[in-house]
A and B are shown apart, each in its own frame.
Chain A
Amino acid sequence: KNEVEQSPQNLTAQEGEFITINCSYSVGISALHWLQQHPGGGIVSLFMLSSGKKKHGRLIATINIQEKHSSLHITASHPRDSAVYICALFGNEKLTFGTGTRLTIIP
């Protein structure tokens, strides 16, 4: 079993829909990161979480340390949100990545 599992693997939605991407993990961590990768490859950091909830614009990230689960939400989704969203664990000096969720928002 992988240390970090993301779901769904692929998600297609209409513009304006509320999006939820999930990340479950099985190991102890110091922090959990959500990242965004656009076509062409560039990877940018969206959030770093060690507890609770963070919000940036239309993006909201939550983490439940006891349940080893995190979610990334996008409100009022837009075609420019189309990208791969990746969950990453930081612990024991290592960064471990999920395989990502490919999100496509249709106008």
Chain B
Amino acid sequence: NAGVTQTPKFRVLKTGQSMTLLCAQDMNHEYMYWYRQDPGMGLRLIHYSVGEGTTAKGEVPDGYNVSRLKKQNFLLGLESAAPSQTSVYFCASLSPAWRNTIYFGEGSWLTVV
């Protein structure tokens, strides 16, 4: 998925640890999203941002924080990881003003033990 990079791709955390996932895009997109994907549940929105310095809660925001200090980066933080946060995390970006195509990162596999 050209243009959207997620780091790290794999991580194992112990309960209570904190970590940050980084989503970076080089397409000057205004809108960026963080989702989690769990078996049988589809992609669920955690937080999103419609521009630099703005963030908003999605469907499942509890236990996560986000920041968008630069337009190209959207960070997802886990404050105190719990086993229920074991999931695959996807970042997506789009620009409504330009073709409205969605671009996804490759996913970040997180396991909390």
Contacts and interface: CB of A to CB of B under 8 A. Distances in A.
A99 interface: yes
Chain B: interface secondary structure? strand
Nearest to A50: B100
A90 B102 CA distance: 10
Given A33-B102, A41-B88, A97 B1 contact: no
Interface residues of A, number: 22
Give the size category of B's interface with A: 20 to 34
Contact of A45 (B35, B102, B107): B102
Interface string B32-52: 010100001111110010100
B40 A95 contact: no
Interface of B: 1, 31, 33, 35, 40-45, 48, 50, 56, 58, 88, 90, 92, 94, 96, 99-104, 106-107
Interface of A: 30-31, 33, 35, 41-45, 48, 50, 86, 88, 90, 93-100
